[in-house]
């Protein structure tokens, strides 16, 4: 197992190299240019040439790339173009942490409510409970954030005055409730549907009937057999969405005024803030790889038939 | 599956819609133009209530929403978000007063040599940095040298300091020192510029010319802006990125300590109207969405509504005069005459803008109200006649108008204008929307045929900032590529004319010609803006330009 993990992790540097190189190429050859964005409508060719020289952007692509990688290996991700003087790592670090907290809360909501509801629907299959749950799941899964968010703000913050309208004060403050709810609702819906489908499939299996026939108490049938097997596809989805924790959520963050990574990512792209864009791309790539690895390891625990060499 | 429960979700949906339906619109993320309200928006002149107003008292905290400033380094400032904060923490030789005149700041007076090229500034004594060290002419010398140093990477050094002898040389590596800035003695500084440009002093009010602490920069390097040692009325007490900025009173400020204890700028965002109504902030802009509600006299907020003066900006459509069909002046004029700006301003933009017929905005130094009459007014018959006389009559090439933006529409006003062009002239214009960075690139390359969605906002209060910078044939910001040697001559003369009235006359003649030759369709001056200010906040001035003002604000409680 350990060997397997190490072997998977060895791909990381290769992946990072490829991802950053592609990002560099896109930035170098693509339209738009950070110097022009910086100068805005006060552009003059002389100022642009001077800034380009000073920022090192007039060097050949490979030289810039080698320079970047050399510094990155030592942990220096450079300085932002939009926020001159601010190191990329300090800019990103705080925001990723905020987004991760929010994403985690949303995921928690999704899992803790989604799985029980899905199981409920599976066991009450065919009854009104099942239909209600499935249709609401479809409804909330399809609702975009910019519909649910203002609605929640209107009801919970403005009318009932239970929660603050916006802002961010950390994981354990009322500010997190609404954004986490807004992000978690589609999660609940998705996980519920998935759990229901998986549970239905498992329940119909022969070994469940066998277990009951053997006289196994119902709670053990549920806990040891149904749940564990039904959770495998759910674990896949949840595990992969862990990677999404660091991606942030642009719309939610904008509506609720949360200083997260989603807004930074979108803004950096429009402003051609290459150091930030490159760093973010690397982080997303790493988190995706790690999330995949985590899911694969989880499989090994959930399904004894799976062995890694 | 039982069909009975299909209606359950439908009921939920209906209930949801019902709840949302009535009354006030959901608290939506506020009007972005309100981005930071009062940014360049000059706000409204908040006159204190006319009843018996007790004198200013010290103490109190003033709170407003703001955005993360890209930088707190005065030499790197290019935008309003940064400048607003920087103007309170730092200062320079001169500044603008509430009437937008250049007045002494750290320099208590100055002399200009007879040839108009050498300025001698006499500094106040006893001006201190926040850490107590006295400001001398040497500090200013260091600051100018730093701003002109290519390693500082200031994007605007050429724009604001380029007239000083030696600055451009140093920026381009041809010199190691700025020859035009000289320390005469401890409190006397001499600056020499390349020609007797009268608008030079106005440029010095911009942060690029502010003084910074050499000792701190040498000690802390690139991170010195985390605890800037400035000279302004406020010190930076706290800056939590994405959360808030706290400014604290500087009791030793050389023009008298501010009344406020603290200023809090909330950076984490939120809904301005909701926060204002909740007393979380003391001022907010009022966007189009909330305007009607607040303007209603039955609404208690109505009493706190104040009107902002016009900002010094002009929105326009630009034509690239080197590309057909805009190389024919009659086509440009025809397109101007085909637009009924009054109707658009009133009905589409709710009177939030004023139709523009000239280049300089109202209230701006050098503005002549008569210019609006000389503009190309709505006249569909004239428009059609001009088009018929042009060389493209009947064989109009494809016209693409490019605007910056990301999806949605190009702007209601532009859509109506394109419709008017079609109805009156039968001219079809396509809109191409490009995201900002790409738009800038194409604009600077001169490849765009026609462009819109831009406004030019004044950097400093002088007509040179509009007419010369935008229409001189050699100016890099002349994106229409307009080239008229006669206008060039007038502009060059006005640069160095020392008599104000003669200067204004030169600019007037230039503006008349420019309007007539129509490289632009001037569209709007930002019109009435509205803001809400808490009645116990006194002395907050809303102005057409960014001017330091927090030192005069006080809270009456």
| DSSP of B362-382 | TTSTT--THHHHTS----HHH
> Which DSSP string do the residues of B148-210 spell out, in sequence order?
T-GGG--TTHHHHHTTBTTHHHHHTTS-SS-TTEEEEETTEEEEEBSS--TTHHHHTTSGGG-
If asked whether residues B340 and B254 sit together in one domain, one would say no
Average pLDDT, chain A: 87
If asked whether residues B290 and B323 sit together in one domain, one would say no
- From chain B, pick out residues whose CB is under 8 angstroms from the CB of A131: 1-2, 5-6, 8
Instruction: Give the pLDDT mean for A202-217.
Output: 83
Considering only the beta carbons, identify the residue of A45, A151, A165 that sits closest to B274.
A165
With an 8 Å Cβ cutoff, are B444 and A43 in contact?
Answer: yes
Asked if residue A281 has pLDDT above 50, the reply is yes
- From chain B, pick out residues whose CB is under 8 angstroms from the CB of A256: 269-270
Q: How many angstroms separate the CA atoms of A305 and B395, rounded? A: 76
Q: Is A155 on the interface with B (CB under 8 A)?
A: yes
pLDDT value at position B12? 52
If asked whether residues B431 and B509 sit together in one domain, one would say yes
Closest residue of chain A to B12, computed from CA coordinates: A136
Closest residue of chain B to A135, computed from CA coordinates: B9
- DSSP-based three-state secondary structure for B458: coil
Instruction: Quote the minimal CA–CA distance from A299 to chain B in Å.
Output: 34
- Could you say which DSSP state residue B53 is in? P
Torsion of CA B379, B385, B389, B390, to 10 degrees: 40
Top-confidence residue, B289 or A152 = A152
Considering only the beta carbons, identify the residue of B19, B223, B241 that sits closest to A155.
B19
pLDDT value at position B55? 65
Residue B132 burial (10 A CB sphere; 0-12, 13-18, 19+): exposed
Question: Helical H runs in chain A?
Answer: 2-29, 34-39, 45-54, 61-73, 88-123, 128-142, 145-152, 177-203, 206-213, 218-220, 228-243, 250-256, 261-271, 274-302
Angle at A289 between CA A286 and CA A290, to 5 degrees: 85
Residues B253/B273, Cβ–Cβ less than 8 Å: no
Task: Please write the tens of the pLDDT for every residue from A1-24.
Answer: 788 888 888 988 898 999 999 999
Domain ranges of chain A: 2-88, 96-302
Asked if residue A52 has pLDDT above 70, the reply is yes
Among the listed residues B78, B87, B97, the one whose alpha carbon sits nearest the alpha carbon of residue B544:
B97
3-state secondary structure A181-221: HHHHHHHHHHHHHHHHHHHHHHHCCHHHHHHHHCCCCHHHH
If asked whether residues B287 and B327 sit together in one domain, one would say no
With an 8 Å Cβ cutoff, are B27 and A150 in contact?
Answer: yes
Closest residue of chain B to A166, computed from CA coordinates: B270
Which residues have a Cβ under 8 Å from the Cβ of A258 and sit 6 or more positions away?
Answer: A98, A99, A102, A166, A167, A168, A179, A252, B268, B269
List the structure tokens of A281.
């791309």
If asked whether residues B326 and B298 sit together in one domain, one would say no
If asked whether residues B180 and B67 sit together in one domain, one would say no
- Could you say which DSSP state residue B358 is in? S
Residues in chain B, overall count: 557
**Owning domain of residue B479:** 313-526
- From chain A, pick out residues whose CB is under 8 angstroms from the CB of B70: 82-84
Interface of A with B in 174-213 (CB under 8 A): none
If asked whether residues B404 and B420 sit together in one domain, one would say yes
Whose tokens are 């702007």? That residue is B411
Query: Which pairs from A13-17 meet CB under 8 Å and 24+ separation?
Result: A15/A285, A15/A289, A16/A282, A16/A285, A16/A286, A17/A69
With an 8 Å Cβ cutoff, are B274 and A94 in contact?
Answer: no
Q: Number of folded domains in chain B? A: 3
B138: part of which helix (H) or strand (E)?
helix B137-147
Residues B326/B332, Cβ–Cβ less than 8 Å: yes
List the structure tokens of A134.
């499935």
Whose tokens are 């532009």? That residue is B414
Task: Quote the radius of gyration of chain A (alpha carbons, Å).
Answer: 24
If asked whether residues B200 and B260 sit together in one domain, one would say no
pLDDT band for A223, please (50, 70, 90 cuts).
confident
With an 8 Å Cβ cutoff, are B477 and A44 in contact?
Answer: yes
Q: Do strands B429-434 and B450-457 pair parallel, antiparallel, or not at all (unpaired)?
A: unpaired
Q: How many angstroms separate the CA atoms of B180 and A26, rounded? A: 43
If asked whether residues B380 and B458 sit together in one domain, one would say yes
List the structure tokens of B159.
């724009």
Interface of B with A in 3-32 (CB under 8 A): 4-6, 8-9, 12-13, 16, 19-20, 24, 26-29
Half-sphere exposure of B432 (CA within 13 A, CB side): 13
With an 8 Å Cβ cutoff, are B70 and A82 in contact?
Answer: yes
The CATH number of residue B136's host domain is 3.90.76.10
Half-sphere exposure of A218 (CA within 13 A, CB side): 1
pLDDT value at position B404? 92
Query: Which pairs from A161-166 meet CB under 8 Å and 24+ separation?
Result: A164/B270, A165/B27, A165/B270, A165/B271, A165/B274, A165/B275, A165/B278, A166/A255, A166/A256, A166/A257, A166/A258, A166/B268, A166/B269, A166/B270, A166/B271, A166/B274, A166/B275
> Which DSSP string do the residues of A101-150 spell out, in sequence order?
HHHHHHHHHHHHHHHHHHHHHHHTTTSHHHHHHHHHHHHHHHS-HHHHHH
Residues B554/B538, Cβ–Cβ less than 8 Å: yes
pLDDT value at position B180? 95
Q: Is residue B372 a part of any domain in this protein?
A: yes
Q: Is residue B9 a part of any domain in this protein?
A: no
Neighbours of B305 (CB within 10 A): 16
Neighbours of A32 (CB within 10 A): 20
Instruction: Give the pLDDT mean for A105-122.
Output: 90
What pLDDT tens digit does each residue of chain B (557 aa) get?
Answer: 444 444 554 555 455 444 433 333 333 333 333 333 333 333 333 444 445 455 677 888 999 999 889 899 999 998 889 999 999 999 999 999 988 899 999 999 999 999 999 999 999 999 999 999 999 999 999 999 999 999 999 999 998 999 999 999 999 989 999 999 999 999 999 999 999 999 999 999 999 999 999 999 999 988 899 899 999 999 999 998 878 899 999 999 999 899 999 999 998 777 788 888 888 899 998 877 788 888 888 888 888 988 888 789 999 999 999 999 999 999 999 999 999 999 999 888 878 889 999 999 998 999 999 988 889 999 999 999 999 999 998 889 999 999 998 877 778 899 999 999 999 999 999 999 999 999 999 999 999 999 998 889 888 899 999 999 999 999 999 999 999 999 999 999 999 998 999 999 999 999 999 999 999 999 999 877 889 999 999 989 888 888 888 988 998 87
Residues paired with residue B432 on neighbouring β-strands, in sequence order: B402
If asked whether residues B293 and B163 sit together in one domain, one would say no
Interface of B with A in 271-330 (CB under 8 A): 271, 274-275, 278
Among the listed residues A78, A81, A80, the one whose alpha carbon sits nearest the alpha carbon of residue A70:
A78
Q: How many angstroms separate the CA atoms of B314 and B358, rounded? A: 9
pLDDT value at position A309? 60
List the structure tokens of A196.
């229901």
Instruction: Give the pLDDT mean for A160-175.
Output: 78
Residues paired with residue B189 on neighbouring β-strands, in sequence order: B121, B183
Interface of A with B in 27-56 (CB under 8 A): 31-34, 36-47, 50-51, 53-55
Query: Which pairs from B416-422 meet CB under 8 Å and 24+ separation?
Result: B416/B344, B416/B348, B417/B317, B417/B339, B417/B344, B420/B338, B420/B339, B420/B340, B421/B335, B421/B338, B421/B339
Q: Is residue B4 a part of any domain in this protein?
A: no
Q: Is residue B224 a part of any domain in this protein?
A: no
B7: part of which helix (H) or strand (E)?
helix B7-21
Q: How many angstroms separate the CA atoms of B252 and A224, rounded? A: 73
pLDDT value at position A242? 83
Top-confidence residue, A297 or B4 = A297
- From chain A, pick out residues whose CB is under 8 angstroms from the CB of B19: 151, 154-155
If asked whether residues B512 and B534 sit together in one domain, one would say no
Q: How many angstroms separate the CA atoms of A178 and A176, rounded? A: 6
With an 8 Å Cβ cutoff, are A40 and B440 in contact?
Answer: yes
pLDDT value at position B46? 41
Task: Quote the radius of gyration of chain B (alpha carbons, Å).
Answer: 26
pLDDT value at position B38? 30
If asked whether residues B24 and B55 sit together in one domain, one would say yes
Interface of A with B in 119-148 (CB under 8 A): 126-128, 130-132, 135-136, 139
Q: Is residue B125 a part of any domain in this protein?
A: yes
Backbone conformation region of residue B166, classed left if phi is above 0, alpha if psi is from -120 to 50, else beta: left
Task: Please write the tens of the pLDDT for every residue from B92-146.
Answer: 999 999 888 999 999 999 999 999 999 999 999 999 999 999 999 999 999 999 9
Half-sphere exposure of B409 (CA within 13 A, CB side): 7
Among the listed residues B506, B470, B548, B509, the one whose alpha carbon sits nearest the alpha carbon of residue B206:
B548
Among the listed residues B511, B525, B487, B531, the one whose alpha carbon sits nearest the alpha carbon of residue B281:
B531
Residues A73/A62, Cβ–Cβ less than 8 Å: no
What CATH number has the domain spanning A96-302? 1.10.3720.10
């Amino acid at each position: 197992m350990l060997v397997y993990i190490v072997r998977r992790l060895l791909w990381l540097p290769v992946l990072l190299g490829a991802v950053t190189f592609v990002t560099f190429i896109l930035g170098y050859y693509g339209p738009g240019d950070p110097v022009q964005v910086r100068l805005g409508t006060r552009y003059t060719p002389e100022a642009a040439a001077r800034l380009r020289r000073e920022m090192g952007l007039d060097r050949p692509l490979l030289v810039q790339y080698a320079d970047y990688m050399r510094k990155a290996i030592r942990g220096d991700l450079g300085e932002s173009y939009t926020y001159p003087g601010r190191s990329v790592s300090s800019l990103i670090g705080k925001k990723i942490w905020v987004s991760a907290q929010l994403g985690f809360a949303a995921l928690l909501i999704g899992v803790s409510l989604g799985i029980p509801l899905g199981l409920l629907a599976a066991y009450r299959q065919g009854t009104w409970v099942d239909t209600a749950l499935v249709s609401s799941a479809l409804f909330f899964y399809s609702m975009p954030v910019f519909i649910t968010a203002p609605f929640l703000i209107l009801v919970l913050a403005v009318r009932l005055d239970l929660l603050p309208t916006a802002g961010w004060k950390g994981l354990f403050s009322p500010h997190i409730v609404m954004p986490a709810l807004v992000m978690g609702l589609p999660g609940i819906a998705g996980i519920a549907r998935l759990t229901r489908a998986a549970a239905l499939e498992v329940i119909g299996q022969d070994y469940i009937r066998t277990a009951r026939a053997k006289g196994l108490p119902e709670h053990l049938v549920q806990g040891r057999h149904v749940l564990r097997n039904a959770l495998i596809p759910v674990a896949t989805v949840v595990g992969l969405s862990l990677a999404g924790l660091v991606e942030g959520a642009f719309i939610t963050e904008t509506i609720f005024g949360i200083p997260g990574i989603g807004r930074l990512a979108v803004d950096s792209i429009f402003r051609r803030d290459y150091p930030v864009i490159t760093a973010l791309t690397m982080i997303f790539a790493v988190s995706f790889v790690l999330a995949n690895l985590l899911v694969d390891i989880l499989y090994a625990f959930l399904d004894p038939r799976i062995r890694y060499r | 599956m039982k069909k009975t429960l299909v209606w359950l979700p439908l009921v939920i949906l209906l209930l949801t819609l019902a709840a949302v339906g009535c009354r006030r619109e959901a608290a939506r993320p506020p009007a972005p133009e309100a981005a930071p309200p009062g940014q360049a928006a000059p706000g409204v002149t908040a006159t204190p209530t006319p009843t018996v107003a007790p004198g200013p008292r010290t103490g109190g905290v003033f709170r407003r929403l703001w955005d993360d400033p890209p930088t707190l380094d005065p030499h790197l400032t290019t935008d309003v978000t940064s400048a607003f904060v920087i103007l309170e923490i730092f200062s320079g030789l001169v500044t603008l007063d509430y009437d937008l005149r250049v007045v002494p700041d750290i320099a208590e007076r100055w002399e200009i040599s007879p040839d108009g090229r050498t300025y001698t500034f006499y500094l106040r004594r006893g001006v201190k940095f926040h850490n107590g060290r006295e400001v001398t002419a040497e500090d200013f010398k260091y600051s100018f040298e730093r701003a002109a140093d290519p390693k500082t990477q200031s994007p605007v050094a050429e724009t604001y300091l380029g007239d000083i002898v030696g600055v451009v040389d140093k920026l381009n590596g041809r010199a190691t020192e700025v020859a035009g800035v000289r320390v005469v003695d401890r409190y006397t500084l001499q600056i020499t510029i390349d020609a007797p440009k009268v608008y030079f002093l106005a440029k010095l009010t911009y942060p690029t010319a502010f003084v910074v602490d050499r000792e701190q920069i040498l000690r802390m390097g690139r991170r010195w802006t985390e605890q800037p040692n400035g000279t302004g009325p406020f010190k930076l007490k706290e800056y939590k990125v994405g959360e808030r900025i706290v400014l604290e009173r500087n009791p030793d400020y050389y023009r008298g300590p501010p009344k406020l204890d603290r200023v809090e700028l909330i950076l984490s965002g939120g809904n301005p109207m909701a926060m204002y109504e909740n007393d979380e902030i003391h001022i907010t802009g009022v966007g189009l969405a909330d305007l009607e509600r607040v303007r209603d006299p039955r609404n208690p907020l109505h009493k706190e509504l104040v009107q902002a003066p016009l900002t010094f900006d002009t929105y326009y459509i630009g034509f690239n005069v080197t590309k057909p069909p805009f190389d024919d002046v009659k086509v440009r004029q025809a397109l101007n005459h085909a637009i009924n700006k009054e109707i658009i301003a009133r009905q589409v933009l709710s009177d939030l803008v004023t139709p523009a017929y000239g280049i300089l905005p109202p209230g701006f130094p050098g503005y002549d109200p008569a210019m609006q009459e000389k503009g190309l007014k709505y006249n569909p018959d004239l428009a059609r006649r001009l088009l018929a006389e042009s060389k493209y009559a009947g064989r109009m090439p494809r016209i693409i108008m490019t605007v910056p933006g990301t999806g949605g529409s190009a702007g209601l006003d532009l859509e109506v204008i394109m419709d008017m062009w079609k109805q009156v002239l039968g001219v079809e214009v396509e809109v191409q929307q490009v995201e900002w960075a790409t738009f800038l690139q194409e604009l600077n390359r001169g490849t765009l045929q026609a462009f819109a969605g831009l406004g030019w906002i004044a950097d400093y209060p002088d007509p040179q900032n509009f007419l010369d910078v935008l229409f001189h044939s050699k100016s890099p910001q002349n994106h229409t590529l307009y080239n008229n040697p006669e206008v060039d001559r007038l502009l060059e003369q006005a640069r160095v004319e020392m008599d104000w009235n003669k200067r204004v006359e030169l600019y007037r003649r230039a503006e008349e010609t420019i309007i007539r030759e129509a490289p632009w369709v001037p569209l709007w001056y930002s019109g009435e803006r509205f803001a809400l200010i808490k009645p116990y906040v006194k002395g907050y001035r809303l102005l057409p330009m960014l001017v330091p003002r927090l030192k005069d604000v006080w809270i009456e409680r």
